[in-house]
Structures are given as structure tokens and as C-alpha cells.
A and B are shown apart, each in its own frame.
Chain A
Amino acid sequence: MARPSSAARKGLEKHSVPAKTTITLHVNGVERKLAVAPWTTLLDALRLYLDLPATKQGCDHGQCGACTVLLDGRRVYSCLTLAVMKDGAQVTTIEGLAQGSTLHPLQQAFIEHDAFQCGYCTPGQICSAAGLIAEGKARTADEIRELMSGNICRCGAYPNIVAAIQDVMSGRATGKLREAKR
């Protein structure tokens, strides 16, 4: 679906009754203030207002997981989250996982295991995997698969996604393959 032009968006907002609310989000460790309408999702706030487009819009209905971010440390679907309800929250997106030029272990493991093809679901997969590891409920491959079922991969990279996550969970990651290739 084509995104409305900014003029069209402004037109829409001019006719809306409720005023915008100014909220503060702590996004990837940076305090960001923004004015949002009640119906602005966290996904739209990140992509359209905060210039953080790496979080992807997939189904926009909470069925695919592409929009997964960490909200106050827990993985959620940003497409089904209203930004106005999350004033003051900590948000981590895929843009916030690397430390400078050093990739997050999950990012590195996804590269090493070829855990994606088109890459569209990958930001959501990696944020979801970060949430999974923080939860500490998955130990076996079966449990990883079950607790990652909220992230759909159209290319079918599931076996490599599970292997990448297992590597990070077991502390086998990261950089081994990179070292070996030198």
C-alpha cells in the first residue's frame, strides 16, 4: 500500500478532533520526544517520526512478527502497540543492538549461520531472539522453535535461525567462523 504523502498526512491530522500528545520514548538509549495522535502505533512512530526504519512493517496485524521490538526489555509487536500508551518506556530496536561497529552476538550468529534469505523478517527475528534469551525459558531446539513461533520467515530459514540462537545461548558464538576465515 502506498504511504500517504506528508501533505496528505497533515491534511488528515488537521481534520482529526483529538489533539496530539507529546510523549517521551527512550529509544536505544536516547531520549526522544515526539507528538503522536492516539492512533499512531509504536511501529509508525519509530519508522515515520523517529527515522528508525529498520523495524519492519509486515502484516500490520500481529501475525508475522516483523515489527518485533523490545519494550521495557520484553518482546512485543510494535504494530499492535499505541505509542501514546507507552510514554516514558524504554524501546530497543535492531538499530540499538550493536555496540558501535561490533555486532550483537545474535547479529553475528545470524550472519555466520546464514539465518536469512531476503532479510525482511530478520530485524524482528533478532529482537525476538534477544527477548527469548532474556526470558530464559527455552533450552532445547523444540523450545526455541515454539517460543520463536511468533516470527514468520517467508524464505523458510528456520533451521538456521534456530542454530544461530542455539549458538548464542550456549556461548559458542561469536566470531569463530570469522576468525577461521582469515
Chain B
Amino acid sequence: MNNFGYTRASDLADAVREIAADPGAKFIAGGTNLIDLMKENVARPSRLIDITHLPLNNIEETQDGGLRIGALVPNSDLAYDPRIEARYPLLSSAILAGASQQLRNMASTGGNLLQRTRCFYFYDTTTPCNKREPGSGCSAIEGINRMHAILGTSEHCIATHPSDMCVALAALEARVLATGRDGERSIAFAEFHRLPGDAPPIDSNVQADEIITAIELPPKGFATNYTYLKIRDRLSYAFALVSVAVGLDIQGGTIKEARLALGGVAHKPWRDRQAEAQLNGAPATRETFLPAAETVLRDARGFGHNDFKIELARRAILRALTQAARGTPQSQADKRIK
């Protein structure tokens, strides 16, 4: 780790002031990803601004019947909150599918959104990586790319976003609240993370001098017909090869509204409006699910080691839609996929 300074932000205005005044500084909350990146010399902040004493750790009702989750609420508290368990079980399930309980106890809601890819070339400072060193090249495209993206890639980067929680937040159409020098703004979840394009270093559309203060969940939680299905190389404590978040609003056997988001396949949680539109108004059966899965993967492209992800994703989408339609969500303790 490089040497760095340390400042404790006293309030939100102080935090915004401190980060705006020091381009080399970074906010720290849970630190579970940032400290690791600093140990690997991938992140080299001149100063850390500790935001853990800001009053951003509550979960509150919103006026429209949703919930506002403070950015500092630990992942474990969020997953086990009775309101989340009852009204947004998809979110609870996705959080519990990720990391370990120790990490979930430490990691914050806001920090989960801002975690960096676990692409091993990004972590390995002896190899080229356009995300770490713009213009140096992508080692993964022709390297070991089993974990890498099959959708939305660019010639400059094929990294994936590692979060499980964010896949559920994408499906639930959450909003991200961020505060900067110009005040607070609300960002639709689909607009929060970005594809690598020709600027792989930039993961999200939150600005360097903004601080995430909360996540807002809309009232609709898809609490009856949902699932979070995560496929990985070991049964727990591993990143997704492919994960699928599904929320269905089924009335009389017909899908009134469908939400479908994938993790482990792209630089951001992958949502496909065309596939969702195909599901809306159709009977909740396998005959409906298959073409929707094909739609999601119509532009999928493998890079060698990760070619299997395309077929794996097709089957995972099919299975997840079936689990959600049946009302039998994937258990995150009993790992058998039913």
C-alpha cells in the first residue's frame, strides 16, 4: 500500500468539499474493495476521506410507498431488514448470494455499486489493462477470459461488473441519489453503470466529486414471483459466471410485467427491454421464456474461454424465469437448482 493521508468527514457538505478540493482523494466506507486494490497498488489515493460517521445508515419509507436505503447501510443489515425480506426478497436474496458474511457486515450499500471489476489483468499491475492504464491494451481479449463479458463489450475492455446486489437493483428499477457541489440528483439505475466503450476506466456516471447518499426502491417489489439464480465455480463465496435476477407480475397465468437482469456477463448489470417486452402480456410458460432468452443473447459474443457462458446464460435465464413463475425462488443455502 502507498502512504496516504486520512481525513474524517464531519458532515455531507464537508465530505463534498473535501473530495472537490483534492483530486487524488477517495472516499472510504466499508473499504472491502478499495483497501484490497490499494494493497495491489491498483488504487493509489493520496488521501482517504472517511465517510463512515455521516448519518447515512437508515432505511426509511418514501412518500410513494417505496424505501430509501442510506448509502452506509451494511449489505448484511440490508439483506436481513424485515421490510426488504418481505417487500423486496429479490434484493435480499441477491445480496446473500454475494461475498461472505464478514464482507457483507463490512461493505456499504453505496460502496457495493462502486466496486471495481475482479478481472485479474486489472488487478495484475505487470500486465496491460485499458481500465487501469488507458491505452496500454486489453490482456483479457486474447488471454484467459473465462470470467469475462459476453455482452456489451468493446475492443478495449471485456471486464464484468462483479456485484450481485446491483443485478437485483437493476431489475427493481432502483434510483441512486448522489450529492455534489451542485446539490442532489437522482440517477436511474440503468443509467448508473456504463459500458466500457472507449473509456474503460470509467465504471459509472457518478462524478468523482459526488457522493452517493442513498438508493431508492420504487413500491413494486415483485415479492411473489421472483428469483436470483447465481451460477459460479464453487457453491459460495465466488463471483458469478452468470447470474439472473427475475421479477414477474403474473395475473391469471399471464405475465403483466416482467423484469429480467443478468450479472457476470457485462460491464454493468444487463437488462434487455426488448426481451422484457416479449414476456409482457404472454403466458408464463416455457414457450414464452425460450424466445425471450434468445433475444437477450442475440448479440452475445465469446472470447474463447468464456464461450460457454452464452449457452449457460440461455439455460440460466430459462431456469430463472421458470423458478420465478412457479413461485419457487432459488435458495441461497440449499444450492440445488430446482
Chain A interfacial positions (CB closer than 8 Å to B): 16-18, 21, 37-39, 41, 60-62, 65, 68, 74-77, 80-82, 84-85, 128, 131-132, 135, 137, 140, 142-143, 145-151
Contacts and interface: CB of A to CB of B under 8 A. Distances in A.
Q: 5 closest A-B pairs (Cβ-Cβ)?
A: A150-B100, A149-B236, A38-B6, A149-B237, A18-B5
Contacts of A76: 102, 105-106
B333 interface: yes
A146 B99 CA distance: 11
Given A77-B106, A149-B237, A143 B333 contact: yes
A148 B1 CA distance: 29
A61 B39 CA distance: 8
Contacts of A151: 100
Q: Is the interface of A mostly helix, strand, loop or mixed?
A: mixed
Contact of A147 (B35, B38, B101, B334): B101
Interface residues of B, number: 33
B228 to A, nearest CB: 14
Interface in B227-253: 235-237
B24 to A, nearest CB: 12
Contact of A38 (B5, B101, B235, B237): B5
Contacts of A146: 236, 332-333
A65 B105 CA distance: 13
Nearest to A63: B237
A128 B28 CA distance: 24
Contact of A85 (B28, B32, B103, B332): B28
A170 to B, nearest CB: 18
A82 B35 CA distance: 8
A161 B233 CA distance: 23
Interface string B33-56: 001101110000000101010000
Contact of A77 (B76, B103, B236): B103
Given A38-B48, A80-B31, A74 B105 contact: yes
A173 B236 CA distance: 28
A150 B101 CA distance: 7
A80 B237 CA distance: 16
B4 interface: yes
Interface string B1-14: 11111100000000
Contact of A62 (B4, B32, B76): B32
27 contacts: A17-B3, A18-B3, A37-B3, A38-B3, A38-B6, A39-B1, A39-B38, A60-B39, A61-B39, A76-B102, A80-B32, A80-B35, A81-B31, A81-B106, A82-B6, A82-B48, A85-B52, A131-B105, A140-B333, A142-B333, A142-B334, A145-B236, A149-B101, A149-B236, A149-B237, A150-B102, A151-B100
B303 interface: no
Contacts of B40: 61
Nearest to B96: A146
Nearest to A18: B5
A75 B236 contact: no
B80 interface: yes
